[in-house]
Amino acid sequence: MLQTVIGTVAVAYIAILLTLTVFQRFFIYPALKGEGRDVPGFEQVLYPTADGLDLMAGYKPAGDGKPTIVYFHGNGADWQSSVVATDRLTPAGYGVFAAEYRGYRGNPGSPSEDGLYADGRAALTWLKQRGVAGGDIVLVGNSIGSGVASQLATEFDPRALVLISPFASLPQIAGEKLWWLPVRAVLRDQFDNKAKIGEIAAPILLLHGDADTLIPDHHSRELAAMNSAARLVIFPNAGHELAWHDAAEREMLAFLEELDAQDRNR
C-alpha cells in the first residue's frame, strides 16, 4: 500500500510539472479577450510591431511641456485599466499611452517575454514618429508590466521609470510560490528586473504595498538595493491592487512634479 501511495503521489507530481511546463504561458498571461470598452478622452490607436503585428491601444496626448506616460499593465488587466490607474495624472496635463500586449483585448499574436518587449518597443517607436522624444517619456510598469518597463529603460533613455508592485524576477517569485516544484528550471520567460535595474540611469520610483500577498514587498526592497538612486515607497496595508489606489497615483505625481521642478531650476 505504501508503494501505491508513493507511486500515486509521484505520478501526480509529474503530471503537475508537465502541465506547468507545457501550459506555463497560459498561466502567466491570462489575456482578457474582446476589444473592451471605449474610454472617453482616449483615442484607440494601431501601431505595428517589428514582427508584423498590428496592436490596438489607447492614447491621450500630453499638454504643452508635459511628458507622456507609457503604461504597461499587469498580466490579468488591459489597457483600459491603465487609464483608471493614471486618472490623477491626465488632469495635470500628462499624456498617457496605455500600451497593450499581443493576444490581449483582440490583438493578434500570443504573449511571451520577447513578444511583450517587442510590443513595448513598437509603442515607443509609434510615439517617436509623432514627435515624442525619449526624454519626454515616463515608463510605468505594474506587476508583470514592470518587466517590460525595466527592459525598455535599458534600451532607451526615458525621463523616469516607475515600477508598481514589481517582482525581482519571474523565476524568483514563481519559485517562492511553488517552492515544491523546480519552476526555475522550466520557466521560459524570465523578466529579470533585478539583473537590469542597476544599469538604468533614469530616475526610478518603486511603489509597493506591505500587504501584497501575490508579490511581497521584499521584491521592491531587493530592486531598490540594486540601484542606490532608486526611491522606494512602501504603502501600509496595501495589496497587489496598489496601482489603482489614489495614494500611489499621488506619489507618482509628486515624483514627476519634483523632476519637473529640478529641470526648471537648472
pLDDT digits (tens, 9 = 90+) for 131-144: 999 899 999 999 99
pLDDT category of residue 7 using cuts at 50, 70 and 90: low
Q: What share of the chain is helix, strand, coil (3-state, %, to 5)?
A: 45, 15, 40
CA 147 from chain center: how many Å? Answer: 6
CATH number for the segment(s) 2-264: 3.40.50.1820
**Any idea where the domains of the chain sit in the sequence?**
2-264
Task: Give phi and psi for 122, each to the nearest 5.
Answer: -65, -40
Among residues 190, 191, 242, 192, which one has the least CA distance to residue 216? 242
pLDDT recorded at residue 220: 98
pLDDT digits (tens, 9 = 90+) for 76-124: 999 999 999 999 999 999 999 999 999 999 999 999 999 999 999 999 9
Residue 50 has pLDDT above 70, yes or no: yes
